[in-house]
Amino acid sequence: MKNHTSLKLLALASALVLGTAAARADSTLPADNAAGAATENLGLLGQSYTSLSYSYTNLDNSSVHGDSYNFEFNQPLSFGFDGFLGYSYSQSSVFGGSRLKSNIVDAGLRAFSTRYNWGKPYVEAGVGYSWNRYAGAKDNAFMWEVGAGVEFQVAPKATVTPYIQYVDVPEIDSGHGWNFGVKGNYWVTSRWAATLGAELDDDHNSTFTIGTNFRF
């Protein structure tokens, strides 16, 4: 049986390692942004960017795992409001050797505040639709989610964001639950960032994410 405490500690350690490395880095942005943004604190809230990432999900008490490839586009709509649009493709092995494959498209709004020195709290809401295939059978479903978190600026080029999210697929009896996670973003240049993330749901399934963001 898996050690649930170890998974939670691993999620926190991911954020700690990223934050510590960023805090020791040079506090100015690279020369390609010398036109005036050298002292700018860069997070993700309120920025125009695209995100590409890969996620590995380990299902609790099972040898089964899932792989997910994700894309997200974020666009500021007005001060304190972002709109986002995402797509993900995922697959996982199931009993009998078949694979469950899913395509998900989602969109939503994210509202955040910049009035606090300690971080940027935010709330979000989104809707989506999934197309699922298993053993030749197809099943499509509507889904929605709400979430909240805080983006902490741990260094001029790095942020760490703990969050909580609730997801519901109304057509599936067990298709709802909570996700608890943390994600980190480090701007290697003024336009390109590396990301790490760890998440644990209320069924003790763990997900680890690595990816990149492109700011424009």
pLDDT score of 95: 57
| Per-residue b or e along 161-193, where b marks 16 or more CB atoms closer than 10 Å to that residue's CB | bbbebebebeeeeeeeeebebbbbbbbeebeeb
- Residue 50: the pLDDT is 98
Q: Greater confidence, 189 or 95?
A: 189
Q: What is the pLDDT of residue 30?
A: 43
Q: Which is higher by pLDDT, 3 or 76?
A: 76
Q: What is the pTM of this model?
A: 0.79
Residue 9 pLDDT: 42
> Any residues with CB less than 8 A from the CB of 105 and at least 6 apart, and which?
85, 86, 87, 128, 129
Neighbouring residues of 147: CB distance < 8 A, sequence distance ≥ 6: 123, 124, 125, 163, 164, 165, 166
Domain that holds residue 16: 4-215
pLDDT given at position 166? 98
* pLDDT value of residue 183: 98
pLDDT band at 94; cut points 50, 70, 90 = low
Confidence at residue 175, expressed as pLDDT on a 0 to 100 scale = 81
Which residues, other chains included, contact 62 with Cβ-Cβ below 8 Å and sequence gap of 6+? none
Number of domains in the chain: 1
Query: Domain of 128: which CATH number?
Result: 2.40.160.20
DSSP type of residue 126: E
Contact status, residue 60 vs residue 204, Cβ threshold 8 Å:
yes
What is the b/e burial string over 93-120, where b = at least 16 CB atoms within 10 angstroms of the residue's CB?
A: beeeeeebebebebebebebeeeeeebb
Q: What is the pLDDT of residues 8-60, one digit of tens each?
A: 444 444 444 444 444 444 443 444 444 334 446 789 999 999 999 999 999 88
96 phi and psi angles, rounded to 5 deg: 90, 0
Name the average pLDDT for the chain.
Answer: 84
Interacting residues of 69 by C-beta distance below 8 A, sequence separation 6+? 53, 54, 55, 88, 89, 90
Query: What length is written for the chain?
Result: 216
Average pLDDT over residues 169-196: 93
Count CB neighbours of 158 within 10 A: 24
Q: What is the pLDDT of residue 15?
A: 43
Residues 104-155 pLDDT 10s: 999 999 999 999 999 999 999 999 999 988 877 888 999 999 999 999 999 9
Whether the pLDDT of residue 70 is over 50: the answer is: yes
